[in-house]
Structure 1
Amino acid sequence: MGGEFNGEYVKSLLDTGYAVAATDYIGLGTPGDHTYMGSIDQGNAVADIVPAVRQINPYLSENWFVIGHSQGGAAALSATRAGVKGQLPTGLKAAIAIGPGNSAESALQAVIDGTDTDPFAPALDLFVLIGAAAADQNIRLEEILSPQGQKVVDKLRNSTCLADLLNNTRNLPGADIFLHDSRTVAELSQRLGIYGNPDNGPTNGPVLIITGDADTIVPTAGTLKLIDSLRRQGSEIDELVLPGQGHIQPSSIPSVNNSGS
C-alpha cells in the first residue's frame, strides 16, 4: 500500500496496536522488471513478509490478516493461496481487497476499442505488459507496441513510477501506443488472463472485497464479476460497494476500529 492516505491508514493500524509488514514486490529495488499484477508473484511476495518479519520480532502473534488496495488488493486475494500446495498460509485469518485489479484478459482490448476511457488505462496496461513479458517469454512487446509505444515502454521501465503518472496527467500515453492487430491482441489477452487474474483459482478463508461505484480505474462492474467468479469456485466472499467512491479515496479503506481483531 502506498501513497499519503495509505500511510495514514498504516499509522492508524500501528496506533491501534497492530504490527504492520509491507512487501516490496519482485522487481522493485531488485534486478529485473517488476511483475506488476502477476498474481502468483504478488501472492507469494505478500505471504513471504510474515516469516521475514518474525525473524526481526519472534514475539509477534501467530495470527495475521492481509489488506491491500488496487494491485495490493489483487495480491491480498492471491496471498490466500500462497500456502503449501496452494492452501491458506499458516495463521492467515482474513483478507481484505480494496478495488482489486481484475479482468486482465479484457483490459488491452478495452483500451484499443475505446470501451475503457479512463486516462490512466493505457499506462496501467503498459505496466501489466512489462510485468507479463518478464514472467512469460512468449510475450514479446514489439508485437503489440507501436513505435511510439516502444519509446514509452523504455521510459516506464527505466525511469517512471506509477505515482509520477498519477501526479502528472499531461504526460499520460494514449491508446496509440498499441498496435491494433486483432489476432495479436486476442492471443496476448489470453496470456494476460493467466498471468494476472486473481480469480484463476478460489480464495481460501474469509475475504472482504470493497469497491467504489464511481471507480473508473478498476470499475465496479469488473469487480462484481470477480466476486461472482470466486463465489462460483467456492470462495467465502463478503462484498461492500461504497456509493460515490472512486479508486483512490481514503474513505475506501475500512476503519480498524470497526473491523475486529
Structure 2
Amino acid sequence: MSIPTIDSWTPPGIRTTAPAQAAPAGKPGDVVRSTEITDRPEARMASAARVFDVTYLSADSHGNLVEVKGSVSVPKKNPGPGGWRIMAWDHSTMGLGDDCRITDTLGKDPRGSRDKWLGQWLRDNYVIAATEYQGIGGPGVHAYLDGPVAGKNTLDMVRAARTVVTRYVGTPISNAFVSYGGSQGGHASLWSNHLAGSYAPELKNAATIAHSVPTGLADYFAAIRPGFPNVVIPDYVTYFSYVLAGLKVARPDIDVDAYLTPTGRKVVKDAERLCYAESGPATKGLTVGRLVSKPLTDGPLLPALRQYARVPTSGYGAPILIQQGYLDVVSFTPLSEQFVSQLRANGVDVTYRTYPDQRHGLSTAQVLQSVTWSNSRRTWPR
C-alpha cells in the first residue's frame, strides 16, 4: 500500500490553518502545517531523500505557545531495527528577521560544503530536525540567546519531526536524539540537554555536541561604556545589537534604550530585521562605544543580561562534547575552559576538544569528528 503524501492527507490531530488573531490551540510540539519541499533544489541536500517544511507549536520568552518554523530532512537508507535516530540541528547566528531563515534552504550551497558535514548525519541514518527558533519566520521578534526558549524550540522540533516521519513517511523512527549546534546553536543545544528530562521526558536525549559556545557573555559586556575602543572581535557590533534586541524581547521590564545613544537605538532596532550578512555592511565603521550612553554595569541591565544569556553548569542528563577553536575571539577559549571546569566539578559527563589553529567555527574534518563521537555513545537505545 502506498504511503499518502503530505499534500493529499491530513492526519487526525494535525491542523492545516491557524486561527486568526488567536493564540494557537494545541500542545508543545504539535504540527500546525507541513509541506513536502523535496522538489525545491534549494531545500534538499544531496544526501536527503525527502525534505519537509514544518510549522509547529513551541514557547516564546513569556511562556506563550506560538508557531515556530523548521524542517525535517529524511535519510536515503532504510532505518535499522530501532528506527532512524534523530539529530536536532541548532543553526548558528543567521539574524533575527523573518528573511533570515535557513532550514528550508539547506540545499542552497554552491560549494557543497554543507552536505559534506551536515549531510553526514543523513548518511549515517539520522533524520535531521532543524528548528528556526521562535520569531524567525514566525510571529514575534526572535529572542537571540534566550536559552530556555531555544532549548524548548529544539525539543519541540524533535517532537514535530517524529510526527512528520511517522505519519507521512511511514518509516520507524526512534525517540532518541542528539542535539548539535555551533555558536548560537551550541548555546541552544546545551539548553535542550538541560531541559530534556523535565520538558520532554518521552524523548531520549542520547548526547549533545556544541562548539564555539558563547559562555560568560555578561563578563565581557560588563566592560562596555561610552568611548569603548574598537576590538578584534569580528562583527562585534552585530552580536552586541542582536543580544540587546533579544534582551528587549525577553525582558521588557528593562529599559534597554536608556543605555543607548540615538545611533545605538537605531542599530538595535535594525537588528530585529537585518540578517547576519546584511548587518556587517550596515554597521561598518561603528564601534560599541558609540552605541552606548552609559556603562552597562549601571542599574539593572547587566544582572538581567547575566540571567538571560546564561548557560547552566549542572543538570545535564546526557553526555556532552564541547569543541573549541583555540584562536576564537568571539567565544573566548578561557571562558570555555572555565565553563568546562565548572561542568566537570558538578559531575557532568563532558568531553572537551580544542583545535590550536581554529577560530570561531570548525573545519569540515573537525565537524565530522562530532558525528563519529555521537555514533559511539553507549547512551543510544540498543
Q: TM-score, normalised by structure 1?
A: 0.88
Q: In structure 2, the residue corresponding to 1:96 is in which secondary structure?
A: strand
Shift of 1:83: 2.8
- Structure 2 CA distance, aligned partners of 1:256 and 1:85? 26
Which amino acid letter does the alignment assign opposite residue 302 of structure 2?
S
Match of 2:220 in 1: 107
Quick check: 1:199–1:229 contact (8 Å CA) kept in 2? no
Match of 1:162 in 2: 276
**Runs of 4+ more than 3 Å apart:** 2-8, 84-89, 110-117, 254-257
Match of 1:190 in 2: 303
- Structure 2 residue 124 is the aligned partner of structure 1 residue 16: yes
Shift of 1:152: 1.2
- Structure 2 CA distance, aligned partners of 1:256 and 1:119? 26
Shift of 1:89: 6.7
- State the Cα deviation string for residues 41-68 of structure 1 (Å, max 9, x = none): 1111111111100111122122211110
- Structure 2 residue 261 is the aligned partner of structure 1 residue 146: yes
- Structure 2 CA distance, aligned partners of 1:147 and 1:260? 48
- State the Cα deviation string for residues 165-207 of structure 1 (Å, max 9, x = none): 36x48726311112233543x6312111111111264322200
Aligned residues: CA RMSD: 2.5
Unaligned runs of 5+ in 2: 1-90, 93-101, 103-108, 167-171, 376-382
Mean Cα deviation higher: 194-203 or 139-148: 194-203
Classify 1:188/1:6 alpha carbon distance in 2 versus 1 (closer, same or farther; 3 Å).
farther
Mean Cα deviation higher: 245-254 or 34-43: 245-254
- Among all aligned residue pairs of Structure 1 and Structure 2, give the percentage whose two residues are the same amino acid: 22
Quick check: 2:259–2:292 contact (8 Å CA) kept in 1? yes
Classify 1:38/1:89 alpha carbon distance in 2 versus 1 (closer, same or farther; 3 Å).
farther
Structure possessing the higher radius of gyration over alpha carbons: 2
- State the Cα deviation string for residues 228-252 of structure 1 (Å, max 9, x = none): 2222333221100111101133344
Match of 2:144 in 1: 36
Quick check: 1:120–1:172 contact (8 Å CA) kept in 2? no
Match of 1:177 in 2: 291
- Structure 2 CA distance, aligned partners of 1:241 and 1:183? 32
- State the Cα deviation string for residues 71-103 of structure 1 (Å, max 9, x = none): 010111100122353687721100001111211
Classify 1:15/1:147 alpha carbon distance in 2 versus 1 (closer, same or farther; 3 Å).
same
Mean Cα deviation higher: 198-207 or 138-147: 198-207
Classify 1:234/1:259 alpha carbon distance in 2 versus 1 (closer, same or farther; 3 Å).
closer
Q: In structure 2, the residue corresponding to 1:255 is in which secondary structure?
A: helix
1:72-83 → structure 2 map (5 Å cutoff)? 72-83=185-196
- Name which structure has the greater RCO, CA cutoff 8 Å, separation 6+: 1
Match of 1:126 in 2: 241
Which amino acid letter does the alignment assign opposite residue 157 of structure 1?
E
Quick check: 1:88–1:204 contact (8 Å CA) kept in 2? no
Q: In structure 1, the residue corresponding to 2:271 is in which secondary structure?
A: helix
Quick check: 1:111–1:117 contact (8 Å CA) kept in 2? no
- Structure 1 CA distance, aligned partners of 2:114 and 2:239? 20
Q: In structure 1, the residue corresponding to 2:173 is in which secondary structure?
A: coil
Higher share in helix: 1
Higher share in strand: 2
Q: TM-score, normalised by structure 2?
A: 0.62
- In structure 1, which of residues 59, 63, 74 is the aligned counterpart of residue 176 of structure 2? 63
Quick check: 1:105–1:191 contact (8 Å CA) kept in 2? no
- Structure 2 CA distance, aligned partners of 1:62 and 1:93? 10
